[in-house]
Amino acid sequence: MSASAADTLEWLVRPFSGDPGIDRQALAGLLVELARNVEPQFGAGPSGVRPIDPRLEQLRTLLLGREIEVLSRLSEVVEDPEQLAGAVGRVLPTAIALASSDARLGQVLAPALEKATQSSIRSDPGTLVNILYPLIVPAIRKSIGETIDETFQSFNESLKHSLTWRGLRWRWEAWRTGTSFAEVVLKHTLVYQVEHVFLIHRHTGLLISHVAAENAAGQDPQLVSSMLIAIQDFVRDSFSGAEHQGLDTVRLGELWLWSEPGPFATLVAVIRGNPPEGLHEQLRSVLSRIHEERPHALESFDGDSSSFADVEAHLSECAALGQRAPRSAERGFPWLVALVGLILLALAGLGGFRWWQNERAWEHEQQLRQAEQRLWDGYVARLRAQPGIVITEAGRRDDKFLVAGLRDPLAADPQLLLDQEGVDPARVVSRWQPYQGLDPVFMLKRLQASLDPPPTVTLAVEGDHIVAQGSAPSTWIERARTAGRMLPAGGPMLDLTGVRDVNEGAIGKLSKAIRSHEIHFNFNDSLPAPGQDAVLDQLAKELNDLASLASTMSVSARVTLTGHSDDAGNGTFNLSLSSARAETVRALLKKRGADPDLLTVRGAGPLEPLEAASSEAARSANRRVSFKVGIEEQR
Amino acid sequence: MTATLQKKICMLGGFSVGKTSLVKRYVQSVFSETYLTTVGVKIDKKTVDLSDRIVNLILWDLAGEDDISSLRMSYLRGSAGYVLVADGTRPSTLEVALSLRQRVEADLGPLPFVLLLNKNDLREQWAIRDAELEDFRRNGWWVESTSARTGEGVEDAFKALAGRVAH
């Protein structure tokens, strides 16, 4: 039994690899004690075990020792925050993974996460930017893509109604190739070429990689990239830009610098021409790909670019970007070009014709103007040559001709001259002040007006004299002489030496002959004494000659018949007798054909005796009719 | 062997110590000196042939200022090392250089640098004691007296600095 008992207990004593923490020896002893208590004769050994206290405690320890130890270890962990944190940390990912199906987890975690994010942004925004960059870029890309689509659509709309020939052609191309019309338009209008692409380390400004298109000129890219970063810094510092902002576009004539910043590297493209907005997106896409592939190498770049050889492939992709000017179709006749050419030619021709017309019109106008000017010059010259006209001002003013000066009223009429010279009077403004000139011609005119010379007298200008020629009655000559003396000094003199007194010529002889006749009367008789018919006939003939001569000489002749009586008898009777005798002679002469208007009669009585003596012979001589002739200017 | 290593180096020094003319003859330069007065920095390149590799020093010549506070610190960012230039005939410029160094260290931490005392061709006007330079050297500084006129010491200085920043 003991052997069997020992055998039975043998497994307890044997070390057991799976449960090393239990003191098996002690447990065995305890079990033996227990057995003795049940069966006192079982085995030998120390006295029985007391039912309570140390041994039970020991048993407890033996039975639960491991649990107690685990519990104390656990309580130690739970009570020490650091250890607890470690323990929780170890299971947290799994726990969250398991709990993620529970909606409450998200609700519980959200506020804490928000706070954590906020504080992270506050302490270093760069970290979050770096974290989010791969997320943000595709999001932005998507948004930009949408914007561009929108732009295309609006572009489409705006062009929809532009039914130009080119527009129609592009529309055809879009339909044929199945692309959007706006894309075709952009393809044809935006011609550009990416010439250089720089990948520049943002922190140091050092060049990571550079690719240039064929034939693109440029300075040392390492220097250029550093300078680009320096200028970015300069602009940012100068205008207080935020850390992540910088120059994104620089334009130099037809050269564009587009800078696309990434977290660690900046992509700078040098573009010639007119790049489309969509190119930004392409550049950003390349930059974000480079960042995705080599984030750590970019971050820790120390100037050794040998490890970035593969980046060049990406950059080359950018440098290959470009849109060349589309070539015109090589096949067929270039109708459009020809049409445009023709239209241009026609326009040029029309323009030329218009120009020629204008030129002609202008020339014509110039000619007219010149002709008008010539006419005017002629008119002014003629005015200047006119005596009695003094020009003080002549010229063009505001499309009108102006002439001003002094004009003798006797001078030629300027208005009349205008007509003669062919100048349009409506275009002329004249201002004349009257004055009297000393020009001989005007003096002559004035003298002719004031002296009214008889037709037998001619006045003419000879040198600086006005010469009168012909014959005139002495009264006119006298008047002319007075007028000549009144002429203003310095002017022409009136020369009257060429004027004969009419009384001195044929008319003078005739007057003398008429005056020499006397008709005699008998005492107290009013009829002429007999035997005087021949004298009367002679007288009548001479009177007729006088009348005709006076008429030709434009003078008026007057013959006065004066009757006389002797001094015997009554004076009154004698006076009427003498008048009667003159009347009788006039009647007799009239009877013989003399013009009675030529003759005037008067009675002188005895007051004008031929002989003052009182003898019969003297009285007989005094009984007579005598004749007087007066020659005067015609009235 | 290809010259793939580039290092950004700042040139620092007080007013008219001659740092621009110091490098003029020894660097590859494409930008005009007016950049210094306009943008405040002019960038040149100095290629140094170390025995095992070629280092391109990208030299950021910062506009000379005696007033340290006006230095554009953003230009210093990312520098691998720097060149301090002082005028050996004017001790005050050495003080400016030392305070510039302090300023840089405060911002960027310790970086390799060389201290150049320029104008050593004006020996009779030299105002820096040799003992002072020895003190610097004992601190592990690389100090060289140079002349922009004769070129003495310039190549050595760049070579020393290239060696320090490339390893």
Looking at this predicted complex, what is its ipTM?
0.85
The reply to whether residue B6 touches residue A231, judged by beta carbons under 8 angstroms, is no
Handedness of CA A604, A610, A615, A616 (dihedral sign): negative
The contacts of residue A488 (CB under 8 Å, 6+ apart) are A438
Q: What does residue A585 show for φ and ψ, rounded to 5 degrees?
A: -60, -40
- State the smallest CA–CA distance between residue B18 and chain A in angstroms: 22
Record the pTM.
0.44
The reply to whether residue B28 touches residue A220, judged by beta carbons under 8 angstroms, is yes
Residue of B nearest to A303 (CA): B6
Q: Give mean pLDDT, residues A577-598.
A: 90
- State the smallest CA–CA distance between residue A223 and chain B in angstroms: 6
CB-count exposure of residue B79 (10 Å: 0-12, 13-18, 19+)? buried
Buried b (16+ CB within 10 A) or exposed e, A424-455: eeeebebebeeeebbbbbbbbbbbeeebebbe
Q: A14-18, A54-58, A312-316, A552-556: lowest mean pLDDT where?
A: A14-18
The C-alpha atoms of residue A166 and residue A335 are separated, in whole angstroms, by 12
Tokens for A517, please give them. Answer: 């006749």
Look-up: residue for tokens 């550049």? A283
Residues of A in contact with B74 (CB under 8 A): 233, 236-237
- List helix spans (H) across B32-147: 34-38, 91-108, 130-138
Give me the half-sphere count of Cα atoms (radius 13 Å) on the Cβ side of residue B114.
Answer: 24
At A267-294, the pLDDT tens digits run 999 988 878 777 888 888 899 999 988 8
Contact A276, A285 (CB under 8 A): no
The C-alpha atoms of residue A589 and residue A456 are separated, in whole angstroms, by 30
Q: What does residue B81 show for φ and ψ, rounded to 5 degrees?
A: -175, 180
Find the distance separating the first CA and the last CA of chain B, reported in whole Å: 17
The reply to whether residue A220 touches residue B40, judged by beta carbons under 8 angstroms, is no
- State the smallest CA–CA distance between residue B132 and chain A in angstroms: 33
Strands (E), A207-331: 207-212, 249-252, 255-261, 265-273, 322-323
Confidence of residue A13 (pLDDT cuts 50, 70, 90): low
The reply to whether residue A236 touches residue B74, judged by beta carbons under 8 angstroms, is yes
Buried b (16+ CB within 10 A) or exposed e, B43-75: bbbbbbeeeebebbbbbbbbbbbbeeeebbebb
The reply to whether residue A223 touches residue B2, judged by beta carbons under 8 angstroms, is no
Task: Give the residue among B145, B157, B10 at the shortest CA–CA distance from B82.
Answer: B10
Task: Provide the CATH number for the domain around residue B76.
Answer: 3.40.50.300
The C-alpha atoms of residue B105 and residue B81 are separated, in whole angstroms, by 11
Q: Which of A304-313, A604-613, B135-144 has the highest mean pLDDT?
A: B135-144
The C-alpha atoms of residue A600 and residue A625 are separated, in whole angstroms, by 12
- State the smallest CA–CA distance between residue B22 and chain A in angstroms: 19
Look-up: residue for tokens 């002188």? A604
Residues of B in contact with A206 (CB under 8 A): 6-8, 58, 78
Partner residue facing A230 (CB), from B7, B45, B60:
B60
Contact A48, A38 (CB under 8 A): no
- State the smallest CA–CA distance between residue B77 and chain A in angstroms: 6
Residues of B in contact with A302 (CB under 8 A): 80
Strand order in the sheet with A555-564: A518-520, A624-633, A555-564, A599-605
CB pairs under 8 A between A and B: 71
Partner residue facing A227 (CB), from B4, B31, B79:
B31
Number of domains in chain B: 1
At B44-70, the pLDDT tens digits run 888 888 888 889 999 998 876 666 666
User: In the predicted model, is pLDDT for residue A45 greater than 70?
Assistant: no
What is the β-pairing status of strands A400-407 and A428-434?
parallel
- State the smallest CA–CA distance between residue B126 and chain A in angstroms: 35
Residues of B in contact with A203 (CB under 8 A): 77-78
Q: Which of A178-182, A353-357, A584-588, B69-73 has the highest mean pLDDT?
A: A584-588
Contact B5, B56 (CB under 8 A): yes
Contact B81, B104 (CB under 8 A): no
The reply to whether residue B6 touches residue A222, judged by beta carbons under 8 angstroms, is yes
The C-alpha atoms of residue A233 and residue A211 are separated, in whole angstroms, by 23
Question: What does the pLDDT read at residue A1?
Answer: 41
The verdict on A302 touching B (C-beta cutoff 8 Å) is yes
Residues of B in contact with A204 (CB under 8 A): 8, 77-80
- List helix spans (H) across A468-532: 474-486, 506-516
User: In the predicted model, is pLDDT for residue A507 greater than 60?
Assistant: yes
Look-up: residue for tokens 């000659």? A545
At A385-428, the pLDDT tens digits run 888 888 888 888 877 888 899 988 888 888 888 888 888 888 88
Question: What does the pLDDT read at residue B66?
Answer: 63
Question: What does the pLDDT read at residue A560?
Answer: 93
Q: Which domain holds residue B154?
A: 3-166
Confidence of residue A626 (pLDDT cuts 50, 70, 90): very high
Partner residue facing B8 (CB), from A206, A220, A224:
A206
Strands (E), A488-606: 493-501, 518-520, 555-564, 599-605
Residue of A nearest to B29 (CA): A223
Q: Indicate left, alpha or beta for B140 from its phi (over 0: left) and psi (-120 to 50: alpha).
A: left
Number of neighbouring beta carbons within 10 Å of residue A545: 15
Tokens for A514, please give them. Answer: 């008429």
Average pLDDT of chain A? 81
Angle in degrees, CA A534, A535, A538, rounded to 5: 85
The C-alpha atoms of residue A183 and residue A174 are separated, in whole angstroms, by 8
3-state secondary structure of A311: helix
The verdict on A547 touching B (C-beta cutoff 8 Å) is no
The reply to whether residue B45 touches residue A220, judged by beta carbons under 8 angstroms, is yes
- State the smallest CA–CA distance between residue B46 and chain A in angstroms: 10
The reply to whether residue A203 touches residue B41, judged by beta carbons under 8 angstroms, is no
Q: What does residue A341 show for φ and ψ, rounded to 5 degrees?
A: -60, -45
Question: What does the pLDDT read at residue A584?
Answer: 92
- State the smallest CA–CA distance between residue B74 and chain A in angstroms: 7
The verdict on A306 touching B (C-beta cutoff 8 Å) is yes
The C-alpha atoms of residue A495 and residue A480 are separated, in whole angstroms, by 10
DSSP H or E run through A632: strand A624-633
Confidence of residue A178 (pLDDT cuts 50, 70, 90): confident
State how far the alpha carbon of A297 is from the alpha carbons of A293, A304, A484, A509, B111, in Å. 9, 10, 132, 157, 22
Confidence of residue A332 (pLDDT cuts 50, 70, 90): very low
At B75-101, the pLDDT tens digits run 888 899 999 999 889 988 899 889 889
The reply to whether residue A230 touches residue B58, judged by beta carbons under 8 angstroms, is no
Residues of B in contact with A237 (CB under 8 A): 72, 74
